């Protein structure tokens, strides 16, 4: 099985798409080969030295995730890792939109995690987009952006709930409406209330919410508070001071105000009504079986 890199630089780096592609081999995707660490780091572009870019804390967190969930399904690691990765890797959204950063993290820092987490038991291979792909697919970008979009101000608890359902990551994360905080929190609330239970449920609801958002302005019927950009910048600056993130307790995010409760509830009620009429494969059969008991 693919092993962790035998050499880990002190700081994070960037790896351009064209360079990353050279290291995504069939041997790596099947979990049989390691990444040639020296060659990869020669191709990478180092970032400025800063405590915020130190790799050891990130690598230790990833090792802890694999150790904690070694006897479970790897998918269960997502809910634990997403908020902690976001808290350790304190980025602006502009920085997080840089695919070269995620390429390096997947290939230069933790290719063993990508194989462990995303190796398909059926196909015996990893989809290469988990190493180099869009933000909603790439192994680490999807976790960081899930935490960014589903946190409620400093509270990461909604992130754990969202990441416990794989279709919230696979489908909902890529929708434009998810950048509206009350919408994101309302979707999480339906999960917590077990109105939405399965991946199929989340997939169907996400598509319906996104389609309805084309004609219904969610930010008008459910306004959000004006967000404090300084709060996020202060939180990022704390990362420059090299503050540690405890792995066991849930970390605390930027000291932003939470989304308005009345806006979340307004949309949660609307989405529950919307979901009642959404066709979900298997839902009718399950209802009939329940009625026969």
Mean pLDDT of the residues in the chain? 92
Give the global pTM.
0.94
Instruction: Place 293 in a pLDDT band, splitting at 50, 70 and 90.
Output: very low
Rounded Cα gap, residues 3 and 35, in angstroms: 8
Average pLDDT estimate for 19-27: 98
Average pLDDT estimate for 10-18: 96
- What is residue 239's predicted lDDT score, i.e. its pLDDT? 83
**What's the gap between Cα 192 and its chain centre?**
18
Instruction: Place 28 in a pLDDT band, splitting at 50, 70 and 90.
Output: very high
In this structure, what token pair is assigned to residue 145? Answer: 């952006």
Average pLDDT estimate for 77-91: 96
Q: Which residues contact 292 (CB under 8 A, 6 or more apart)?
A: none
Q: What is the dihedral of CA 59, 61, 67, 69, to 10 degrees?
A: -130
In three-state secondary structure terms, 147 is helix
In three-state secondary structure terms, 255 is coil
Place of tokens 């997080």: 96
pLDDT beyond 50 at 291: no
Instruction: Place 176 in a pLDDT band, splitting at 50, 70 and 90.
Output: confident
What is the percent of the chain with per-residue pLDDT over 70, rounded to a whole number? 95
């Amino acid at each position: 099985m693919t092993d962790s890199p035998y050499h880990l630089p002190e700081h994070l780096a960037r790896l351009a798409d064209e360079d990353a592609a050279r290291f995504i081999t069939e041997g790596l995707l099947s979990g049989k080969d390691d990444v040639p660490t020296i060659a990869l780091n020669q191709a990478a572009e180092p970032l400025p030295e800063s405590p915020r870019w130190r790799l050891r804390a990130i690598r230790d967190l990833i090792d802890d995730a694999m150790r904690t969930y070694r006897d479970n399904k790897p998918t269960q690691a997502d809910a634990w890792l997403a908020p902690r990765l976001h808290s350790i890797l304190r980025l602006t959204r502009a920085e997080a939109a840089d695919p070269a950063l995620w390429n390096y993290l997947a290939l230069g820092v933790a290719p063993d995690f990508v194989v462990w987490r995303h190796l398909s038991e059926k196909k015996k291979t990893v989809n290469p987009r988990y190493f180099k792909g869009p933000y909603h697919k790439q192994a680490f970008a999807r976790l960081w952006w899930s935490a960014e979009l589903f946190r409620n101000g400093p509270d990461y608890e909604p992130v754990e709930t969202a990441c416990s359902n794989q279709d919230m990551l696979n489908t909902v994360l890529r929708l434009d409406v998810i950048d509206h905080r009350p919408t994101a929190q309302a979707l999480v609330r339906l999960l917590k209330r077990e109105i939405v239970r399965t991946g199929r449920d989340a997939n169907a609801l996400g598509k319906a919410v996104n389609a309805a958002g084309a004609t219904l302005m969610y930010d008008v019927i459910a306004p959000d508070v004006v967000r404090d950009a300084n709060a996020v910048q202060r939180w990022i600056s704390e990362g420059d001071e090299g503050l540690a993130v405890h792995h066991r307790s849930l970390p605390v995010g930027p000291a932003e105000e939470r989304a308005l409760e009345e806006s979340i509830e307004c949309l949660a009620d609307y989405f529950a009504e919307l979901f009642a009429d959404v066709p979900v494969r298997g839902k009718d059969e399950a209802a009939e079986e329940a009625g026969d008991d």
